[in-house]
Amino acid sequence: MSSKKTTVPFAGTKEQEEALKKIIAENKDQKGALMPVMQKAQDIYGYLPIEVQTMIADGMGIPLEKVYGVSTFYSQFALNPKGKYQISVCLGTACYVKGSGDVYAKIEEILGIKGGECTPDGKFSLDACRCVGACGLAPVMMINDEVYGRLKPDDVKGILDQFN
Amino acid sequence: MYRSHVLVCGGTGCTSSGSQAIIDTFEAEIEKNGLKDEVAVVRTGCHGLCALGPIVLIYPEGSFYSMVKVEDVPEIVSEHLLKGRVVTRLLYQETVKEEEVIPLVETGFYKKQKRVALRNCGVINPENIDEYIAVDGYQALAKVLTEMTPEQVIDTLLAAGLRGRGGAGFPTGQKWKLARTLVPDADQKYVCCNADEGDPGAFMDRSVLEGDPHVVLEAMAIAGYTIGANQGYIYVRAEYPIAIQRLQIAIDQARAYGLLGKDIFGTGFDFDIDLRFGAGAFVCGEETALMTSIEGNRGEPRPRPPFPAVKGLFAKPTVLNNVETYANIPRIILNGAEWFASMGTEKSKGTKVFALGGKINNTGLVEVPMGTTLREVIEDIGGGIPNGKKFKAAQTGGPSGGCIPAEHFDIPIDYDNLISIGSMMGSGGLIVMDEDNCMVDIAKFFLEFTVDESCGKCTPCRIGTKRLYETLDKITKGQGTLEDLDKLEELCYYIKANSLCGLGQTAPNPVLSTLRYFKDEYVAHVVEKRCPAGVCKSLLNFSIDKEKCIGCGMCAKQCPAGAISKTDYIAPGKKLPAMAIDSSKCVKCGACMATCKFSAISKK
């Protein structure tokens, strides 16, 4: 969870804004609609910069402070844009006891970024995640929706090279 | 009618191992061989043996192919499906005994299992409601709506002795009874399903949702009838895309069949279910936090009482059960309370699903009667520890549970026994650790998790877990004192007694249980400044045995810190001078040890 304000300028399009307005209109009157709307907004924009949160707050008649409170509470809401390839290494127990911490450290070393950060070219972002439920393949990581299992630290470079 | 069915596992484990490509290849090969009208390919839920995925099961023979590769598929199609010859070479080798193929249920992994909650997983196509109905699906709902009063449903659950599978073990019948009776004039009630399976290393609920989603819908409708609710919510983690997709398909199909919605079975009973997605907050697995989250707020817990049965979701009386609990209910209604109560121990009835993970051969999902011993689960079903290593501990209950040492290997697993030895059932994650795992490091790992996931509402949890973590970190760096160990324990009891919700009340358990059973490891870190398992990097010392070193210099090439250099000593029988490590420069990465072919480098 990162509450840092992003340094990347907001570049939302008209189409994205239309899509968000439609989602808000559809869900506005439902009970507890804020989170579903925010989740869909993140699908549209890829992350939830303050501009998008303001649109949600205005559109739903909810104070911005509450929207911000929710977006900073849940780890899945990103206030910063993610890389084109989002790497998440499982640091759940089953993966950890099989050495996923070493895999994570290796990726940090190769990419030169820490968890929660994005490479300067916007290509890779790295996060630790909690159990993707593929414990049979531990240790695992995901790059976007693809799962890589039974990893060793030495496998990392070869996998990352595929994206170059 | 098809003469053969090819069941390919589409659970998360097997999907990650590439089962979609296997399905596509099977379909293409079957088409190519002109078997399209005779053989059906079905994508099922989890079979449990995730370590050997992708798994393919062919009926009517019941042949169990494991670790199937795309290249193997043409052979299976042409030999098995076309010519009727089982490809023994590709079978799960446990099913092959002296040239004979034995049934899967007689293999070590399955023999001691009893599948109740998982009975349809891996058997039916989860995306087809007709297959669920064909295995008596929605019959329990029909029976409840047409033949039973809500009181009879409650009495059946009480007699069955079903306790909540989410971890705390509260009697389900009792919970439903309270929600039915405590606020008799409520204008609205709710039924919730906790599918926010947050314990790292646990994937029981995920497998039920992916393999048999309708069972949850059916049980929730039964709960709705029993307590007088007409709306249900399933709160499922966003990290489970396959489960979400199949639940949505199941809800749509059930609505289309009139099994959800208005006037179900023409009885005048209305019930519908909506999905809500979690957003990656562990604390939302706590019942009050989960409901706060469904309401669209920060998922912070609230004090109890009032309990959800009085004031739950949107301040209305609410029943909340976990996925596995629901998965047991239709079977109890159909088979009767006595059948269910005949399994298990005196106070814990039925079965429990465990996600076996960590240092164990058969990682995967197992369901055993309550009262099965840890030894049976780990040795017989789990196939023991890989690489001939020694068992050190089993961790149950995730970040809320504890580590069970080898001395309790023969304890029958049930709710009360696990609590008595300082752990808890939890939702069912069971992680095995061997001699290479450091217990102080494991305690630190869990505390790092709880520090991260503590919602911050109450001080004992927010600050207390942080202090625990800092102390553990100090110990793993060799800066701890014996006094720290006493302080650690004292702080644990303080946090347990004073935290608002289950997260804080159980967060110290990993520390307490490791302190209780592995105090010698803590003492070694503190007094001898040594990590017996060789995990804590600050305490490691790499050294080269100069008698074994042949002086090839490979280690020096690998060393990123330039810490290895030649000495003047040449061991008898060797040609080159031995190497040595300068410990002041060493960064303890272990690269030298990994590269040495002569086992001359050791860490201690």
Percent of chain B with pLDDT over 70: 100
Give contacts of B199 with chain A, Cβ < 8 Å: 93, 131
For residue B189, pLDDT beyond 70: yes
For residues B6 and B22, give the distance between their C-alpha atoms in angstroms, rounded to a whole number. 11
d(CA B49, CA B575): 51
- Note the pLDDT tens digit of each residue in A44-99: 998 999 999 999 999 999 999 999 999 999 988 988 888 899 999 999 888 888 89
Q: Are residues A46 and A100 in the same domain?
A: no
The confidence score (pLDDT) of residue B16 equals 85
Q: Which sign does the torsion angle of CA B328, B331, B333, B337 carry?
A: negative
Given the structure tokens 């949850």, which residue do they identify? B216
Number of domains chain B contains = 5
Strands B96-97 and B100-101: antiparallel
CA distance A14 to A6: 21
Which CATH number do you get for residue B592? 3.30.70.20
- A4 within some domain: no
CATH of the domain at B207: 3.40.50.11540
DSSP designation for B79: I
For residue A78, being part of any structural domain is answered with no
- Structural domain contains residue B533: no
In a domain? residue A8:
no
Instruction: Give the per-residue pLDDT at A3.
Output: 43
Average pLDDT over residues B364-384: 95
CA closest to B443 among chain A residues: A93
Q: Which of B595, B505, B495 is nearest to B552 (CA)?
A: B595
Query: Which residue has 């097997």 as its token pair?
Result: B14
CB contact under 8 A, A76 and B198: no
B112 assigned to some structural domain: no
Residues B280 and B420 in one domain: no
Model confidence band, residue A8 (pLDDT cutoffs 50, 70, 90): low
Residue B109 lies in a domain: no
Do residues B285 and B271 both lie within one domain?
Answer: yes
We report the CATH number of the domain holding residue B12 as 3.40.30.10
Mean per-residue pLDDT, B52-78: 94
The per-residue pLDDT for B153 is 98
Q: Answer yes or no: are the C-beta atoms of B503 and B461 closer than 8 Å.
A: yes
Domain assignment of residue B156, yes or no: yes
pLDDT tens track for B423-458: 998 888 899 999 999 999 999 999 999 999 999 999
The two structure tokens encoding residue B534: 């060789």
Mean pLDDT of the residues in chain B: 94
Residue labelled with tokens 């790499």: B542
Q: Which of A97, A109, A146 to mutate to test the interface with B (most CBs of B within 10 A)?
A: A97
Residue range B392-403, pLDDT digits in tens: 999 998 899 999
Q: Across the interface, which of A33, A76, A92 has its CB nearest the CB of B296?
A: A33
At B565, list the tokens.
Answer: 């250099």
Tell whether B198 is within 8 A of chain A (Cβ): yes
A124 & A100 share domain: yes
Same structural domain, B141 and B19: no
Could you give the CA distance from residue B320 to residue B317 in angstroms, rounded to a whole number? 10
Q: What is the mean pLDDT of residues B235-250?
A: 93
Q: Is residue A29 part of a domain?
A: yes
**Residue B122 C-beta-side C-alpha neighbours within 13 Å:** 26
Q: What pLDDT is stored for residue A1 in this prediction? A: 41
Please check whether residues B34 and B69 belong to one and the same domain. Answer: yes
Chain B residues touching A134 at Cβ < 8 A: 12-13, 16, 50, 203
Does A5 reside within a domain?
no
Q: Does B314 contact A at CB distance below 8 Å?
A: yes
User: Which helix H or strand E contains B190, and what residues bound it?
Assistant: strand B190-195
What is the reported pLDDT for B302? 94
Name the domain boundary from A51, A73, A95: A73
Q: Are residues A63 and A89 in the same domain?
A: no
Last residue of a domain, one of A23, A38, A73: A73
Do A31 and A68 reside in the same domain of the chain?
yes
For residues A26 and A57, state if they share a domain.
Answer: yes
B18 interfaces chain A, CB cutoff of 8 Å: no
Q: Is residue B546 part of a domain?
A: yes
Q: Which residues of B337-355 are buried (b: 16+ CB within 10 A; e: fewer)?
A: beebeebbbeebbbbbbbb
The domain boundary, picked from A22, A51, A73, lies at A73
Band of residue A7 on the pLDDT scale cut at 50, 70, 90: low
The Cβ of residue B112 has, within 10 Å, a number of other Cβ atoms equal to: 15
Q: How many domains is chain A built from? A: 2
pLDDT, mean of residues A136-160: 90
Both tokens of B4, joined, read: 């053969």
Q: Which of B298, B437, B446 sits opposite A73 (nearest CB)?
A: B298
CA distance B527 to B507: 26
Query: What residue numbers bound the domain in which A97 lies?
Result: 85-161
Contact B203 A133 (CB under 8 A): yes
* Domain around B273: 129-340
Same domain, B415 and B490: no
What tens digit of pLDDT does each residue of B123-173 get?
999 999 999 999 999 999 999 999 999 999 999 999 999 999 988 899 999
Looking at the structure, do residues B272 and B390 belong to the same domain, yes or no? no
Asked, for residue B203, whether it belongs to a domain, the answer is yes
Cβ A76–B199 below 8 Å, yes or no? no
Specify the pLDDT at position A26.
Answer: 95
- Output the domain CATH number for residue A91: 3.40.30.10
Q: What ipTM describes this predicted complex?
A: 0.84
- If asked whether residues A91 and A156 sit together in one domain, one would say yes
Indicate whether B22 and B144 sit together in one domain. Answer: no
- Residue A34 forms part of a structural domain: yes
Give the integer Cα–Cα distance in Å for A99 and A152: 8
* pLDDT at residue B129, as a whole number: 97
Residue B395 near residue B402 (C-beta atoms within 8 A): yes
In terms of domains, do A90 and A154 share one? yes
Alpha-helical segments (H) within B182-260: 204-211, 213-227, 241-256
Residue B490 has pLDDT above 80, yes or no: yes
Q: Which residues of B129-159 are buried (b: 16+ CB within 10 A; e: fewer)?
A: bebbeeeebbebbeebbeebebeebbebbbb
Assess whether B136 and B251 both reside in one domain. Answer: yes
Considering the domain architecture, whether residues B182 and B275 belong to the same structural domain is answered as yes
Contacts of B476 in chain A (CB under 8 A): none
Q: For chain B, how many residues are written?
A: 604
Question: What is the predicted pLDDT for the residue at B20?
Answer: 93
Does B118 fall in a domain?
no
DSSP B310-327: TS-GGGS-EEEEEHHHHH
Quick one: angle between helices B150-160 and B323-335, nearest 10? 100
Percent of chain B with pLDDT over 90: 83
Q: Are residues A55 and A92 in the same domain?
A: no
Does B97 lie in the same domain as B167?
no
How far is B253 from B131, CA to CA, in rounded Å?
Answer: 12
Q: Under a CB-based contact definition with an 8 Å cutoff, are residues B122 and B52 in contact?
A: no
Question: Are B71 and B144 in a shared domain?
Answer: no
pLDDT number for residue A6: 53
- Chain A segment 22-61 residues within 8 A of B by beta carbon are 31-36, 38-39
Mean pLDDT over residues B472-501, rounded? Answer: 96
Question: How does pLDDT run across B312-371, given as a tens digit for each residue?
Answer: 999 999 999 999 999 999 999 999 999 999 999 999 999 999 999 999 999 989 999 999
- Taking the model in full, what pTM does it have? 0.91
**Do B47 and B196 belong together in one domain?**
no
Are B441 and B511 a contacting pair, CB within 8 Å? no
The DSSP string of B267-287 is: TTEEEEEEEEE--S-GGGGSH
pLDDT at A2: 43
For chains A and B, count residue pairs whose Cβ atoms are closer than 8 Å.
137
Domain presence at residue B408? yes
- In this structure, the answer to whether residues A113 and A143 fall within a common structural domain is yes
